[in-house]
Each structure stands twice: as structure tokens, then as C-alpha cells.
Amino acid sequence: MKFYQRFAYYSFGMIIGMVFLFMFLSGKDMSCSYFPNSRVLKDLRTKPFHYSDESKEKLNQKWVDTSDIRRTLTYGDVIFGKSNIPTGSGKLYVIEGKNSKNEPITLEVINYSDRAVLKDIIKD
């Protein structure tokens, strides 16, 4: 069998495989989070999220709101040098992000096995 014939068979099989793959995976909400930063943020986003009294006071000051918190939990950077610290039955994570006015903010979130609690919001 000549090279162009093998190449044609290979291409035909690859195209059929890709069509089946796209049909199988279309409409599914899939994401790949292999890096530690994205794994921690995804874990915090999927759990029920609660606010401490201290964080509620900061939210009432109007320089940060819940959309800034959600954006930071989606696009923020986990500072692992200050994170993964055992706090009671959970672990403390420090996440840096920005608010709607493009000012840097830092979130301190305690990650429990069944929920995540926003401990504090720090304006840098």
C-alpha cells in the first residue's frame, strides 16, 4: 500500500473519530483543572459559600461586593506560601484578585469538607 493510500485511510478514520467525539462531548459542561491554583478555586466555587461577620462588615462598606468575590474565586491567584494552613477542621487559603475598580484585594477563605467560609477581605 502506498503512502497516500495509508494517509487517506488514516485521515478518514481520524475524521470519523473526531465527529463521534464532538457528538459525544457536545453540550457537556466539562473543564480540565490540573493546575493546583485552578483545582483550589474550583473546589471553593463548588461548595456552599458562607460569609463571616467580619466579611459582611467589609461588604457593607461598598468598596467590594459579591460579584468581586465571585470574580476573584474564578480568576484569582492562590498564594500557596500563605495557604493550606490547618484552621480547626478546615484549611485557610489566601487568594489575591481585583475588585470592580481594579484595586487589589485579598480574600481569606476557610475551606471545610462541606462548605467554604469567607473569613476576611483585605484591601491592599
Tens of pLDDT, residue by residue over 24-65, are: 877 666 667 789 999 999 999 999 999 999 999 999 998 899
63 plus 91 within the same structural domain: yes
Residue 107 corresponds to which amino acid?
L
Mean pLDDT on 91-115: 94
Among all chains, which residue has been given the C-alpha cell 467554604? 116
Three-class SS of residue 15?
A: helix
pLDDT score for 25: 75
18 plus 42 within the same structural domain: no
pLDDT score for 28: 67
All three cell numbers of 52, joined, read 463571616
Mean pLDDT on 61-73: 92
Three-class SS of residue 69?
A: helix
102 plus 45 within the same structural domain: yes
Share of the chain above pLDDT 90, in %: 74
21 plus 77 within the same structural domain: no
Burial class, 84, CB count within 10 angstroms (exposed 0-12 / middle 13-18 / buried 19+): middle
Burial class, 116, CB count within 10 angstroms (exposed 0-12 / middle 13-18 / buried 19+): buried
80 plus 117 within the same structural domain: yes
The reported pTM is 0.74
Mean pLDDT on 96-123: 94
Mean pLDDT of the chain: 90
100 plus 45 within the same structural domain: yes
90 plus 103 within the same structural domain: yes
State the total domains in the chain. Answer: 2
61 plus 116 within the same structural domain: yes
